[in-house]
Amino acid sequence: MSETSVAKKARPLSPHLQVYRLPLPAVSSITHRFTGIALTVGTLVLTWWLVAAASGPDDFDTAQHVLGSPIGLLCLLGWTWAFGYHLLKGIQHLIWDTGTGITNASARRSSALVFGGSFVLTAIVWIAAFAL
């Protein structure tokens, strides 16, 4: 092979989303979006819960009953994780806005920290909620 064809082969390819394994910061970034959208939908439930609390004991009991059902608890568990994730990722973004930590290595490290921290935070909240 001539030198030019080797050089041609080594050129970077444009990533195709269906076959390209996203690096951790990219997965972390799109997860931030998804959790943000999920939390936006969750504000409907929050509003419903507050309005139920303001409406009287019966409506509040209904809301607590729905949220306390297996499906309700599963949604709340997902909501807690989304909340923790979006909070930690948001802090990472605010730090990035100051110009700190914007290197590939640092972004990989902090993104791993965000994922790990989100699970730790979820565990703490749920253990505390059941223990108290």
Partner 1 sequence: MASTSDNGFRTRLGRVRGLGSAKSGGAHWLAYRMVAVLLVPLTVWFLISIVRLAKAEQADAIAWLHQPVNAVLLLITLIATFHHAAAGMREVYEDYIHGKLARLIAIGLTNGAAILLAAASVFAVLKIAFGA
For partner 1, which residue of 4, 18, 43, 104 counts as binding (CB under 8 A)? 43
60 interacts with partner 1 by CB under 8 A: yes
Q: Are 112 and 89 in contact (CB under 8 A)?
A: no
Sites for partner 1 among residues 102-131 (CB under 8 A)? 125, 128-130
Sites for partner 1 among residues 80-99 (CB under 8 A)? 80, 83, 87, 90-91, 93-94, 97
Q: Which of 48, 45, 56, 51 is nearest to 83 (CA)?
A: 45
Query: Closest CB to partner 1 among 49 and 115?
Result: 49
- Considering only the stretches 5-13, 16-24, 38-46, 105-113, report the one whose residues sit in contact with partner 1 under the rule CB under 8 A: 38-46
Q: Measured between alpha carbons, how far is 121 from 124 in angstroms, rounded to an integer?
A: 5
Q: Is 32 annotated as a binding residue?
A: no
Query: In angstroms, what is the minimal distance from the CB of 32 to partner 1?
Result: 9
Q: Which residues contact 45 (CB under 8 A, 6 or more apart)?
A: 67, 75, 79
Record the tokens describing residue 79, joined without a space.
């909501």
For partner 1, which residue of 2, 14, 18, 40 counts as binding (CB under 8 A)? 40
- Considering only the stretches 3-11, 12-20, 43-51, 109-117, report the one whose residues sit in contact with partner 1 under the rule CB under 8 A: 43-51
At residue 8, what is the residue type?
Answer: K
* CA distances to 8, 15, 52, 65, 125 from 71, in Å: 55, 38, 19, 11, 18
Task: List the binding residues.
Answer: 86
